[in-house]
Amino acid sequence: MKIISFHLRGKMAHFRRYYANSSALSYSIPPRTTLIGIVAGLLGWERDKYYEIFSLNSCKVAVASCAPVKKCMQKLNLLMIKKAGDLNGSAEHHSQTATELIIPQNIRTGIIDYQVWLHHRDNKIMDMLGKLLQLEGRGYKSLGISLALGTVFNLGWVDDGCIIEGVEKEKSNDLSIASVIPVKKLIGIQTERMGADEYRLVKEEIPLEFDSQRHITERGLGNMMINLNSSPIPAGVESYVQLENGKCIMWME
């Protein structure tokens, strides 16, 4: 199968957890719903109109954190919005909101780097996306939105877009998985193959899919095992995708 691979990069990110409100906590990786939102936005599609096109059946997405990240809590001085008219900043007070930001281990020198792999059943979409992301050199690789890592003030950019081949394979007990791992497909992590300081494994439940009404579906939430230190995770898994460059990845589902 053809798979589009690209990197989402930026200096800071914030992917608000669906349950966080008064204090805006963040996921460590962009959830699948955020990634398809970014892709749909790059294709110039309208908000809330693409959920079914990118359903779990039609579109496969995998993601990996390629640079070590950490989270820091910052109070942001947000506009106090009680009605849409307040968006012009006319409200008397601001809202000091504790916000969790994802930043590189060293914010002076590092960047955030997520690698995304995407396969869509519809070849037209694959072609459009392929052309868009494989633009050579620097350029505005979007037909619609500006790319942001989560919230709009965390601007990012797309790099290293390419198309590679991948083969779906069944169960194996001795792999190094480059992407995040859906826990339900995890047989076991081989801790004996993990170096002491290379791994910071966290488990997060992230949104995967909405229906056309933007309601979460029954399979729309999934637990993912993530290594925040960017090394592949040695593990046994139920199914995976072998890429032509030798890497093994797993779809978020």
Partner 1 sequence: MNLPQLTACIGDSLKNANHNLLTSLIKRLKKVKETETAYSVFLIFDLEAREIRFCLNKELSESCVDKYFYFGNNSAASSQYYLARETKSLNYLLTSVLSDLYSMLGKYNMPIGELASIIKRMESSGLIQLAPKKGDGRVNLGEFSIVKGNDKLNVAFDNKALTIDGHNYGFEAVIRLFINDDNKKNRYVLVIPVVKLENGEEIILSTHPEYLELVRQANNLGDEPQTGKDGGRVCYVCGSKKSGVSSDYSAKFSRSGINKIFTTTTINTSPYLQNNNYDQIYSMCTSCYQKILHGEKIITEQFRSRIAGEDVFIIPEGLTASFNYNFLFRLKNGVDLAFNTNIANKWLDDLEGALDFDQVQLYSLNFLFYRTDGNSVSILETIEDVPTLRFVKVMRILAEKTFDMEHQLREFSIGQIYRIIPVRTNKKGEQLDIGNVLSLYKALLLGEQIRSAALINYAADALDKGMRQLSKDKADNYQNMGLRYYAGGREDFFIKRIIMSYLVLIETCQQLNILDKPVFDFNGEGANHLDKINTASEKVNSSIEAMEKFLDDRKFDKEARALFYLGVLINRVAIAQLEKEHKKKPVLKKIQFQGMKSKEVYRLYLDVLEKLQQYDRFSLFAEAVLNRLHYYGSFNHTEMLGERENVFFIMSGYAYLVGTKTPDITKGEEDIMADSIEESDHNETPIS
Residue pair 63/116 in contact (Cβ under 8 Å)? The answer is yes
- Find the binder of partner 1 among 46, 136, 170, 218 (CB under 8 A): 218
Structure tokens at 76: 């942001």
Interface residues for partner 1 in 126-155 (CB under 8 A)? none
- Which residue in 174, 192, 213, 246 binds partner 1 (CB under 8 A)? 213
Helices and strands in the chain, H and E counts? 2, 13
- Give the list of residues 6+ apart from residue 53 with CB closer than 8 angstroms, or none: 40, 59, 122, 125
Binding range to partner 1, per CB under 8 A, among 36-44, 71-79, 174-182, 236-244: 71-79
94 lies in the site for partner 1, by CB under 8 A: no
Report the residue from 23, 57, 173, 245 that binds partner 1 according to the rule CB under 8 A.
23
Range in contact with partner 1 (rule: CB under 8 A) among 6-14, 37-45, 53-61, 63-71: 63-71
Tell me whether residue 105 or residue 123 sits nearer to partner 1 (CB atom).
Answer: 105
Crossing angle of helices 123-133 and 32-42, rounded to 10°: 80
Q: Is 187 in the site for partner 1 (CB under 8 A)?
A: no
Per-residue 3-state assignment (H helix, E strand, C coil) for 59-116? EEEEEEECCCEEEEEEEEEEECCCCHHHHHCCCCCEEEEEEEEEEECCCCCCCEEEEE
- Name the β-bridge partners of 13: 102
Does 204 bind partner 1 (CB under 8 A)? Our answer is: yes
Residue placing its CB nearer to partner 1 in the complex, 45 or 157:
45
Binding site for partner 1 (CB under 8 A): 17-23, 25, 48, 68, 70-73, 81-84, 87, 98, 100, 105-106, 197, 200-205, 213-218, 220-221, 223, 229
